[in-house]
Structures are given as C-alpha cells and as structure tokens.
Amino acid sequence: MTLQLSTTVRNAILDAMETAMGTGVIIKIRTGAQPATCATADSGTVLATITAPSDWQSAASGGVKDMLGVFEDISADAAGTAAHYRVYDSGGSTCHEQGSVTITGSGGDMTLDNTNIAVGQDITITSFSKTAPNP
C-alpha cells in the first residue's frame, strides 16, 4: 500500500523542515555530482556561498514551499559548472539538504540564472522550492 498524506500534513512537514534548519542558513553551490546523502562528506568545488535571509521560505501551501527574498552571491568563489547545492545550518557545519542545480527552466531542484560560473561573477538563485512527497 502506498502512503498518502493530506495537504495539511504535507504543509506541516515542509514548515517543520525550515524550522529545523533554522534561520540564516548557508547555501553552497558546488561543481560535480552531489554526495550520496547529506551525511556524506562534501564533494566538488564551492562556486558560491549564499547566506539566506532570516525568513528564507514562505509558509507552505498546497504541499509546496518557495524561497523568500533575494538569494545572491555578488562575487563567485571559483570558476566551474554548477551542478548541486547543499544547505547548511547558520554555522556552516551541518548539511541539512542537498539537490541538483540547473539553469532556469531546466527542472533542477534549484535553478540559477547561469550555471557556467566565472570567478567574481554575480550568481542569483532564480527558483528554489520544495514539494512535499505524495504519490
């Protein structure tokens, strides 16, 4: 049997995720394949480091949670092709989430205005939303 959740439960899961991760999370955009799990060591080169706004996600609605505010690094840390991201606590030590990165319109878990990054380039996250699971 497949588990199915109400929209109320799906919203609660998403809102609890933001609460557990905390305010001022740090998002690192990296090259290469993402690690197997968040507990696995970092991989790839850090291209951008973004500190999210204090209230960084909207209240969940319809089982979806969107980013709030501007997510931008005005000077890229390194050059390379963005492929995955990791979200860390405000201290930058615990990975709470990871996913794929693509250019806007290409369907990644996070999308950027440009995935081909040059040193010092301005990097902007254009879309970063989560959908709670439900078949």
Measured distance CA(90)–CA(124) in Å, rounded: 20
Asked if residues 63 and 127 have their Cβ atoms less than 8 Å apart, the reply is: no
Concatenate the DSSP letters of all residues of the chain into one string. ------HHHHHHHHHHHHHHH-SS-EEEEESSPPPSSTTSPP-S-EEEEEEPPSS-BPPPBTTEE-B-S--EESS-SS-EE--EEEEE-TTS--EEEEEEEEETTS--SEEES-SEE-TT--EEEEEE-EE----
Q: 43-67, pLDDT tens digit by residue?
A: 999 999 999 988 899 999 999 999 9
Residue 81's pLDDT is 97
Closest CA to 62 of 98, 9, 115: 9
Q: 3-31, pLDDT tens digit by residue?
A: 889 999 999 999 999 999 998 899 999 99
Q: Which of 47-51, 71-75, 105-109, 121-125 has the lowest mean pLDDT?
A: 105-109
Residue 50's pLDDT is 95
Per-domain residue ranges of the chain: 7-131
